[in-house]
Amino acid sequence: MTTDHAFPAVRMYIAGEWCEGGTGATAPLVDPATEEPIGTVPLAAPADLDRALAAAEEGFRVWRATPVARRTAILHAAADLIAERAPAIARVMTREQGKPLAEAAGEARRTAGTLRWHADDARRAYGRIIPAEPGTVLTVRREPIGPVAAFVPWNFPVGGPNRKISSALSAGCSIVVKASEETPATAMELVRCYADAGLPPGVLNLVLGEPAEVSAHLIASPVTRLIAFTGSVPVGKLLAAEAGKVMKPSLMELGGHAPVIVCADADPVHAARKAAQAKFANAGQVCTSPSRFLVHESLVEEFTAEFVKAAEAVTTGNGLTEGTTMGPLANARRLEAMQRLVADAVARGAKVLTGGERLDRPGYFFPPTVLTDVPPDAEVLHEEPFGPLAPIVPFDGLDEALALANSLPYGLAAYGFTRSAATAEKLSDALEAGILSLNHCGGSVHEAPSGGVKDSGYGREGGPEALDAYLVTKRVSHLLVP
C-alpha cells in the first residue's frame, strides 16, 4: 500500500508524546472521494491503553489542582490555535471524511467557539451555602468526576471529539479519547492544538484501535470514572450496559430519525429550502439531520417541487474542488445503506423524483435523493438513513402528523414549520425530542444544550448543562467546634 506523503502521518498521543501502537498493527486510511489510500492508522495494544489510563490518572491529579483561571487561559489558547489552524485542519478533514472544504473549515471555527464557551462556563460551576442550624456550615460543592473515557464517530471529526474534550477539561477532568479510525488525522490535529497551548502531559490522551477491544478495556478500568459516547443506538446500548456492570455513569448522544412537520399554514417554499439545506449538509450524515418530511396535503405538491429543485442544485463532488457543495459519503457502508433503503422503498411502491443511484465515478458518491409515495412500512421511514435521502409523506391533520413523528423509539431532533403561535406551542409541547427547531432546521449551538430522549440517549452537551456529567455534587456539613 502506498501512502500520501502530503497527508500527516497518523499517531496516537499518550502522556504528552506522539507514538505508534505497541503491536505495530495498522489499518488502512482511505480518501472517500477517490477510494485511494492516504495513510495508515496505528492500532493500540492493551499496553498502550494502560499507559493512556495511567497518564490520565496522573493528569487528573495535576489538572484538578490547577487553578481555574490557569486552566481557562490554556483552553482559550487552544481555541485560538484551532481558529488559526482551521484552514489546515479543514483540508485534513476533507481528505479523510469527504465534506467540502468550506463546511470543514466552518466546523473547525465552531469548535473553537464551543471550547471558549465551556472554558468560561467552568468559572460558573458554582456550589452554594445552605442556611443551617447555628454552629453548622452546610455547603454543596461541584467537583470534577475524574478521568473520562470518550468514544466519538467520524461524521464531525473535529467537532465531535471537541465536545467531549472541551467539557471534560473545562470541568477539571482528564480524558482518554478514542477517535474513529476513519478520521484519525483530524482528531490528531485537534489534540495538537491543545498540546501546543500548554496542556500538561496526561490530561488529554488520544488512542486508536479496534473499537470493541478499546471500549471494553477503557470502560472496565478502575481509573475511568465516566463514559462519554456519541454514535449509533445499538453501540450506545452496549457501552451503557458495560458501564452499568461496573457502576459507572455514562453520557449517551445517540442516533435519531428527525421528523419535519410542515403545517397547513406554513410557507412551503421557505420550509422546503430550509429543510433541504439541512438535509444535504454533511451529505445527510448528521444525527440531527431532518430525515422524515411530513407535509400537509394542501402543501405537499409545492413543497416537493421546491425541495427537488434544491436537491438538483446541489453540486456533488470532491470536497477539495471549488464549487462542491456536497462531498461523498464517508465510507462504503453508508453507500450500501443508501442503495438498500432506496431499493426497498421502490420495491414497496415509492417513486424516485431525483437521484436514487450511486454516481458512476470513483468515490462513495450518492446524489441528493427525493422519494414520494413512500408506504408506511418502507425501511427508510423506520431506520435512520444517515445519508442524503429525503422521503416525503403527506398528512391530513396535525394530530396525525404528531402521531407519526412520535411513533419511532427515537427522540433526538425534530422540526416544525408554522405561522401560528398556538400551533408552534402545540408542536413544542407534543413532539418527543430533546432538540426542536421551529421555522428553521438549525444545528447545535454551543450556548444551548443538545441531547435526546427515548432511545436517542441521555445527558446533554452544550450550554450550562454541558459540564453536568463531568461534575459530581458533594454535600459538606461542617459542625464548628469551639
- Which residues are designated catalytic? 253, 287
Beta strands 226-230 and 250-253 are: parallel
Kindly give, in sequence order, each residue whose CB lies less than 8 Å from that of residue 104, ignoring residues fewer than 6 positions away.
89, 90, 91, 93, 94, 97, 319
For cell 481555541, what's the residue?
A: 79
CB 86 within 8 A of CB 78: no
Distance CA 58, CA 174 (A): 9
Beta strands 351-354 and 250-253 are: unpaired
- Cell readout for 118 is 465551556
Question: What are the DSSP E strand ranges found in 263-412?
Answer: 290-296, 351-354, 369-372, 389-395
The Cα-based distances of 266 to 300, 438, 439 in angstroms read: 11, 11, 9
Question: What are the DSSP E strand ranges found in 25-162?
Answer: 26-31, 36-42, 128-130, 136-144, 148-151
Distance CA 335, CA 358 (A): 8
- Cell readout for 152 is 466519538
By C-alpha distance, which of 197, 207, 143 is closest to 175? 207
By C-alpha distance, which of 266, 273, 175 is closest to 469? 175
Main-chain phi, psi angles of 365, to 5 degrees: -90, 130
Burial class (CB in 10 A: 0-12, 13-18, 19+), 195: buried
Distance CA 44, CA 420 (A): 55
CB 380 within 8 A of CB 408: no
By C-alpha distance, which of 408, 393, 284, 392 is closest to 335? 284
Neighbours of 129 (CB within 10 A): 9
